[in-house]
């Protein structure tokens, strides 16, 4: 729609509490395989309108209008301020907690933190203020040598902020009011995990996890933050396999919540992530210096940047094929060269704030000016326990 996006079409040929879940996005503990470039809205032609065997019918988990709305929030470090500002604008538009307009929330890294806040019905404007005010404290560099011996940043300040009583405090996943998925990677087992609410009978192992632990697990970006340890396991950023978690949510809605593709509406919000590319003049040998130059701390960050950029492109590409026009909306902006120099995953200074908040305001205005998108926001999600 706006911000340099293009349509890609397939080639022809209320507040209450419930339990929760642990583990991967399939009951047998394995991630289901799914099959990605550009940014822009669309959603799906149904291959089958029937519910998967053994799973609830659409009527058991959808809203009265028969639609099932998904909100998917990408990771991106401090660039998540762009996402938070858009969420605040949308929430201001609907005049109530934004989560009440969506049947399933998902987010990765900073997007996961925002998804958990939405699920608790914490005002999104509060999350904007948190990252505006404390961003530079979260991304305060330690002594340069520690970039070799340990991560560039510590999660201590982020933990303190999230543990505030008016945010997550010591609450567990049972406290959230809406269905939510948050991906991470269990580095101890080498397996991707998706922390989930108990919106399916097979999901019963996550309800006692603290929200702070889930938030720190999904946002432990390699090279930037240390691995997060809880429940005797080490976790790293879910962006390594699902930085844009829309496909996870699509799978969840169809396979575990009994939704047909025709019922689905998916809104994905990015973080102004630029494509991660190589300088054609660079050394092509593939060694450590090729990836990181003379600074050994750069290599893991470049590899992480490449991984999340490629995964996000793949997800957007597939969603534009799986969901038909009017069912998939991708809110994001491409960075101009000037803006790209001001923002990064770990840039939290005044220039970054100005770019991110300004761009978010542009995106909000453009999308709220779209009648089709405004109509989508009129949806009223059923409570997760309603039938």
Residue 210 DSSP label: B
Contact 244, 270 (CB under 8 A): yes
Interatomic CA distance for residues 273 and 311, integer angstroms? 12
Instruction: Single out the catalytic residue among 237, 260, 313, 363.
Output: 237
DSSP string, 149-200: HS-SS-SHHHHHHHTSTTTTTT-BGGG-SS-EEEEEEETTTTEEEEEEES-S
Distance (Å) of CA 138 to CA 160, 266, 339 = 10, 31, 22
Interatomic CA distance for residues 179 and 383, integer angstroms? 9
Non-local (6+) Cβ contacts of 76 within 8 A are 82, 83, 109, 110, 111, 243, 270, 271, 272, 273, 308, 345
Instruction: Single out the catalytic residue among 51, 109, 273, 309.
Output: 109
Angle made by CA atoms 336, 337, 338, in degrees to the nearest 5:
90
Interatomic CA distance for residues 108 and 218, integer angstroms? 6
CA nearest neighbour of 116 among 155, 79, 163? 163
385 as an active site residue: the answer is no
285 as an active site residue: the answer is no
Interatomic CA distance for residues 111 and 221, integer angstroms? 13
> How do strand 68-73 and strand 264-269 relate by DSSP bridges?
parallel
Catalytic residues: 109, 237
């Amino acid at each position: 729609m706006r911000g340099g996006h293009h349509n890609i079409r397939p080639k022809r040929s209320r507040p209450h509490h419930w339990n929760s879940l642990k583990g991967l996005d399939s009951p047998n503990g394995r991630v289901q395989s799914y099959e990605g470039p550009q940014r822009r809205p669309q959603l799906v032609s149904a291959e089958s309108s029937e519910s998967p065997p053994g799973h609830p019918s659409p009527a058991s988990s959808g809203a009265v209008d028969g639609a099932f709305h998904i909100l998917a929030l990408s990771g991106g470090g401090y660039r998540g301020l762009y996402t938070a500002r858009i969420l605040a604008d949308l929430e201001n538009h609907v005049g109530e907690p934004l989560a009440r307009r969506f049947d399933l929330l998902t987010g990765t890294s900073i997007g996961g933190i925002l998804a958990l806040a939405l699920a608790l019905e914490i005002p999104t404007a509060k999350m904007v203020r948190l990252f505006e005010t404390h961003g530079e404290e979260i991304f305060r560099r330690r002594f340069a040598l520690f970039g070799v011996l340990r991560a560039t940043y510590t999660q201590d300040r982020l933990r303190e902020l999230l543990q505030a009583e008016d945010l997550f405090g010591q609450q567990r996943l049972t406290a959230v009011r809406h269905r939510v998925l948050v991906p991470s990677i269990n580095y101890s087992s080498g397996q991707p995990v998706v922390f989930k609410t108990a919106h399916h009978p097979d999901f019963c192992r996550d309800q006692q996890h603290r929200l702070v632990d889930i938030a720190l697990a999904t946002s432990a970006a390699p090279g930037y933050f240390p691995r997060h340890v809880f429940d005797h396991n080490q976790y790293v950023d879910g962006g390594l396999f699902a930085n844009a978690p829309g496909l996870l949510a699509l799978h969840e809605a169809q396979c575990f919540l009994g939704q047909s593709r025709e019922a689905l509406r998916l809104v994905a919000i990015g973080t102004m992530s630029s494509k991660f590319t190589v300088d054609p003049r660079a050394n092509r040998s593939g060694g450590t210096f090729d990836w990181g130059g003379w600074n050994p701390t750069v290599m893991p960050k470049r590899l992480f940047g490449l991984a999340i950029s490629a995964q996000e492109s793949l997800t957007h590409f597939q969603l534009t094929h799986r969901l038909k026009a009017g069912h998939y909306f991708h809110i994001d902006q491409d960075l101009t060269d000037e803006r790209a120099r001001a923002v990064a995953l770990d840039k939290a200074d005044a220039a970054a704030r100005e770019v991110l908040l300004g761009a978010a305001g542009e995106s909000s205005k453009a999308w709220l000016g779209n009648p089709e998108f405004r109509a989508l926001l009129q949806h009223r999600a059923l409570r997760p326990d309603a039938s």
